[in-house]
Amino acid sequence: MSTATPQKFEFQAEIKQLLDIVIHSLYTEKEIFVRELVSNASDALEKLRHTQITEKEIFDDKLELEINVTTDDKAKTITIQDFGIGMTRAELVENLGTIAHSGSKQFLKAMGEGGAKNSNLIGQFGVGFYSAFMVAKSVKVYSHSWRGAEQGHVWSSDGSGSYEIEESDGQRRGSKIVIELKDDCADYASDWKIKEIVERYSAFVSFPINLNGKRINTIQALWLRSKNEIKDEEYTEFYKFQSHAHDDPRLRLHFSADAPLSINALLFVPKDNTEKLGFSRLEASVALYCRKVLIDSKPKDLLPEWLRFLKGVVDSEDLPLNISRETMQDKALIAKLNTVITKRLLKFLEEEAKNRVDAYNEFYAEFGIFLKEGAAMDYTHKDSLVKLLRFESSLTEKGKTTSLADYVSRMGSEQKEIYYLVGPNRAALESGPYLEGFKARNLEVVFCYEPVDEYVMGNVREFDSKKLTAADHADVKLSDIPKPEGALSEDDTKKLTSFLKESLGARVEEVKASDRLVDSPALAVNADKFMSPQMRRMMKAMKKDGADEPVKVNLEINPRSAVMKRLFETHTTTPDRAKLVAEQILDNALISAGLLDDANPMVARLYKLLETA
């Protein structure tokens, strides 16, 4: 049979169907044809590299292992050329023209099973070449096999149902795919557009890619190289490239795993938390790759929400390129990746916290809020996350922090709970009335300064089997300490608390003698099981229902304080004035608790008291 004249072939029915599906289901992502053809070229080069090791005779053996992309906006063509293993005539026919070619049937099946619209499918099954017909009026494939004895050929088709093959002289080794673009796809003949697409999807292909003679991929897939060969500057350069960042990374984690999944990951924590600076909420931006080819630059479920501050790359060979958020199987695979990577990252942070305390604390000051979010919301990793939290406390110096584990190690044997107070800053908590009872008993209190802390502590609930307890809550029971001299007797105290309850009426749930006051005359403790003062403030700020209901507080008084002793004397002699004082004491306590909504009545009353002072 002579092959010198063009031979015409009909596409098999299955191929027509395949072409049809590719063209019609992926038309929203036409640009991926570039990724597919570049991936094919890269695979062909990789195969040649292997062949060079085992075979002596290679056609055109001096050629560089590189990919050349050229565009011609006048002729409306784009050409992708590789010097890889190339195809013989038989291979050209076989690779395209027969459905026997392994991937096609599976591909059709997968597309039918909900994979349509998924551009990753197509590379997976080795049918990426077909995507060229989304943008092509006609496609010509010039190819010469690495086997020297072969002739070169050109395959051509307009994708409508048939193709031709004829001999072609003067071919270099490898394949050259020339696409004559449809009129409405002429964009793909523009240099900048192709540059953008190649940089997006194929930036880490290991062979040089030249676009119109200029090298465009200069950054390596660092995550696949071994750690001890990589310099800090290379990591930084990679981080800046990958994350479009201008800062230096604060922390990095480069690791690989083989079981249960093959993973190569390179993760970075940036210098600054931009959410804290008031920028918008971060989006997941650790990109997912399979063997250096981008699958998704913002995969939503690859990492938990609270890790949205991470940058970098996860590459897994085990991913089917047809990964989809729809199928159960793939969801499970991503979930598995998620767990493995999150666990590894938590282990890394734990090591940092232990071995590089200052760096960890600086990281925590910037990004700790995300760990708190995780501790409160992510039940799977809660325990590891709570260990990573840091707080100031009544026993730390200002600006120094403690872990809950260290707090627990300092607890006396009779202490059963971990106490915390939420307030705007250290000074406010130290001068408020709540701390003194704990101080007098040598009980450490964790200080929380962020509005979310209330919510976090409430959700975390316990650490190391010890309950986290708000030190300003009515349920806190403190042990007896010896009563100092000169306090009101128990009887007199009873009389005074009855008087106060009578005077204050519905404004208080209960009035009682306090076991937690040392210096202050009185304090208000939150008696609301469901709403803390901080929550109430937040709800008021958001104008939520329920925030306007009267607060439920207990008033606790200090029978040792001069104010109370004096009030006890006057409550029988000048009851009207004593009633005003009682109300003033309650308002003072509410101010300290951050629960006084309207100061005007208090100011008016104070003037009244001052009149007779």
Q: How far is the CB of 273 from ligand FE6 (least distance, A)?
A: 45
Residues 306-335 that bind ligand FE6 (CB under 6 A): none
Q: Are 473 and 454 in contact (CB under 8 A)?
A: no
What single letter denotes the amino acid at residue 119?
A: S
Q: Which of 181, 191, 185, 192 is nearest to 27 (CA)?
A: 185
Q: Can you tell me the distance from the alpha carbon of 42 to that of 342, in angstroms, rounded to the nearest whole number?
A: 32
Choice between 85 and 185, CB closer to ligand FE6: 85
Choice between 140 and 390, CB closer to ligand FE6: 140
The only residue of 25, 40, 324, 497 in contact with ligand FE6, by rule CB under 6 A:
40
Choice between 119 and 242, CB closer to ligand FE6: 119
Query: Which residue's entry shows tokens 């031709």?
Result: 164
Residues 486-515 that bind ligand FE6 (CB under 6 A): none
The only residue of 18, 44, 69, 293 in contact with ligand FE6, by rule CB under 6 A:
44
Q: Can you tell me the distance from the alpha carbon of 62 to that of 79, in angstroms, rounded to the nearest whole number?
A: 22
Residues contacting residue 65 through CB under 8 Å, at least 6 positions apart: 45, 48, 49, 83, 84, 207
Q: How far is the CB of 377 from ligand FE6 (least distance, A)?
A: 47
The pair phi, psi for residue 58, each rounded to 5°, is -125, 130
The residue range among 37-45, 365-373, 492-500, 578-586 that interacts with ligand FE6, by the rule CB under 6 A, is: 37-45
Choice between 44 and 578, CB closer to ligand FE6: 44
Q: How many residues lie near ligand FE6 (CB under 6 A)?
A: 16
Query: Which residue's entry shows tokens 């208000």?
Result: 524
Query: Which residue's entry shows tokens 């998924």?
Result: 118
Q: Are 65 and 83 in contact (CB under 8 A)?
A: yes
The residue range among 39-47, 58-66, 204-212, 588-596 that interacts with ligand FE6, by the rule CB under 6 A, is: 39-47
The only residue of 69, 141, 307, 567 in contact with ligand FE6, by rule CB under 6 A:
141
Q: How far is the CB of 8 from ligand FE6 (least distance, A)?
A: 14
Distances (CA, A) of 401 to 59, 390, 407, 444, 452: 68, 6, 10, 13, 18
Q: In this structure, how many other beta carbons lie within 10 angstroms of the beta carbon of residue 340?
A: 19
Residues 67-106 that bind ligand FE6 (CB under 6 A): 82, 84-87, 92, 95-96
Choice between 44 and 349, CB closer to ligand FE6: 44
The residue range among 40-48, 109-117, 421-429, 488-496 that interacts with ligand FE6, by the rule CB under 6 A, is: 40-48
Residues 143-172 that bind ligand FE6 (CB under 6 A): 155
Q: How far is the CB of 41 from ligand FE6 (least distance, A)?
A: 5
Q: Are 379 and 417 in contact (CB under 8 A)?
A: no
Residues contacting residue 496 through CB under 8 Å, at least 6 positions apart: 488, 557, 559, 564, 567, 568, 571
Choice between 101 and 252, CB closer to ligand FE6: 101
Q: How far is the CB of 198 from ligand FE6 (least distance, A)?
A: 15
Measure the CA dihedral 395/397/400/402, to 10°. -10
Query: Which residue's entry shows tokens 């010509």?
Result: 140
Instruction: Give the pairing type, strands 263-269 and 153-157.
Output: unpaired
Choice between 82 and 150, CB closer to ligand FE6: 82
Choice between 146 and 309, CB closer to ligand FE6: 146
Annotate 521-537 with DSSP letters as a single string. Answer: SEEEEE--SS--HHHHH
Q: What six digits make up the tokens of 360?
A: 């960890």
Q: In this structure, how many other beta carbons lie within 10 angstroms of the beta carbon of residue 17?
A: 15
Q: Are 123 and 115 in contact (CB under 8 A)?
A: no
Choice between 45 and 557, CB closer to ligand FE6: 45
Q: How far is the CB of 305 from ligand FE6 (least distance, A)?
A: 40
Confirm or reject binding of residue 175 to ligand FE6 (CB under 6 A): yes
The only residue of 83, 107, 125, 129 in contact with ligand FE6, by rule CB under 6 A:
129
Q: Are 41 and 146 in contact (CB under 8 A)?
A: no
Choice between 155 and 391, CB closer to ligand FE6: 155
Choice between 143 and 402, CB closer to ligand FE6: 143
Residues contacting residue 22 through CB under 8 Å, at least 6 positions apart: 122, 127, 130, 131, 133, 134
Choice between 44 and 496, CB closer to ligand FE6: 44
Instruction: Give the pairing type, strands 209-211 and 392-393.
Output: unpaired
The residue range among 36-44, 212-220, 530-538, 543-551 that interacts with ligand FE6, by the rule CB under 6 A, is: 36-44
Choice between 61 and 549, CB closer to ligand FE6: 61
Q: How far is the CB of 177 from ligand FE6 (least distance, A)?
A: 6
Q: How far is the CB of 318 from ligand FE6 (least distance, A)?
A: 24
Q: How far is the CB of 88 from ligand FE6 (least distance, A)?
A: 10
Q: How far is the CB of 267 from ligand FE6 (least distance, A)?
A: 33
Q: How far is the CB of 171 from ligand FE6 (least distance, A)?
A: 13
- Give contact residues for ligand FE6 (rule: CB under 6 A): 40-41, 44, 82, 84-87, 92, 95-96, 129, 141, 155, 175, 177
